[in-house]
């Protein structure tokens, strides 16, 4: 049996080079997303899964994303980062796990896993919290702390590791990768220039646009910004024609508006309008 191929060096090579300009990061994230979504297998307690949706958060010189966690673990490379605050792992719906791909001493990188698919059954596990719950259930661990304490935290294959990634060939050909704004970001904590600059960036990537229910408006707007017609968007996302039209219309109506108008809890259409205001 061939030795499993580690993912870290391949993923690191796809990410932005040291000193890369701000505008170079988006294309590098797309390259890295292609690696993760088409060339990686996630092994959970020996069961194969594939990644179907990820988001990128990068805070470092030349690209200071205010939405990045900036946990000390995230300056490490090739390490699992389970979301925590003040050294305590988050629970409930706040759970999440990133692939940390940072660079010491000042570049914090987290690639959030949002959706995975079981290879054997084809079942989709959607949502960052749900993915962590699935990992805990599969590994038989009672808590994130217990899981983290059971191995060295590497994303690469290790003897006895309950959770790791391998670099593999695409199964049945590479799937198309779609991008959109990230899920859950708002201006409620302030409409600073940095937040305005990063909130609408297309740093979320998926290969399951029709099966992914969460973040559907994000994908509709992302496709619209790429020049896709409403009919193409409907076909790709599986959304109803009226819903697509409503989201696109809200995005267009937001253009030219002041983003400060949206510093609160937003309806779905108001969120689409905010992306328009920031475009």
- The predicted-structure confidence for 193-225, as pLDDT tens digits, reads as follows 999 999 999 999 999 999 999 999 999 999 999
The overall pTM is greater than 0.95: yes
What are the residue ranges of helices labelled H in the chain?
8-14, 25-38, 128-139, 144-148, 193-199, 216-225, 230-237, 241-254, 268-278
pLDDT tens, residue by residue, 173-192: 899 999 999 999 999 999 99
State yes or no: pLDDT of 1 exceeds 80: no
pLDDT tens, residue by residue, 229-269: 999 999 999 999 999 999 999 999 999 999 999 999 999 99
Of the candidates 247, 245, 249, 237, the residue with the CA atom closest to the CA atom of residue 268: 247
What percentage of the chain exceeds 90 in pLDDT? 95
pLDDT tens, residue by residue, 12-45: 999 999 889 999 999 999 999 999 999 999 999 9
């Amino acid at each position: 049996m061939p030795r499993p191929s580690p993912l870290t060096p391949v993923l690191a090579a796809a990410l932005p080079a040291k000193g890369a300009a701000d505008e170079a990061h988006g294309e590098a994230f797309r390259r890295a997303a292609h690696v993760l979504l088409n060339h990686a297998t996630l092994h959970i307690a020996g069961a194969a899964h594939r990644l179907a949706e990820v988001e990128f958060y990068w805070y470092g010189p030349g690209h200071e994303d205010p939405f990045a966690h900036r946990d000390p673990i995230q300056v490490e490379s090739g390490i699992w980062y389970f979301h925590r605050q003040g050294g305590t792992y988050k629970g409930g719906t706040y759970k999440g796990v990133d692939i940390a791909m940072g660079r010491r001493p000042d570049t914090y990188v987290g690639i959030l896993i949002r959706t995975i698919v079981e290879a054997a059954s084809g079942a989709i596990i959607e949502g960052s919290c749900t993915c962590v719950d699935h990992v805990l259930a599969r590994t038989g661990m009672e808590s994130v702390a217990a899981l983290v304490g059971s191995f060295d935290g590497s994303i690469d294959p290790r003897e006895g590791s309950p959770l790791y990634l391998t670099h593999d060939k695409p199964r049945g050909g590479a799937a198309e990768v779609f991008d959109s704004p990230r899920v859950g970001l708002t201006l409620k904590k302030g409409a600073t220039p940095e937040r305005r600059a990063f909130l609408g960036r297309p740093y979320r990537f998926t290969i399951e646009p029709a099966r992914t229910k969460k973040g559907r408006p994000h994908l509709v707007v992302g496709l619209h910004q790429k020049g896709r017609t409403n009919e193409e968007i409907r076909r790709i996302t599986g959304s109803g024609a009226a819903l697509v039209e409503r989201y696109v219309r809200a995005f267009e109506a937001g253009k030219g508006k002041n983003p400060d108008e949206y510093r609160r809890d937003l309806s779905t259409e108001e969120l689409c309008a905010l992306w328009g205001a920031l475009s």
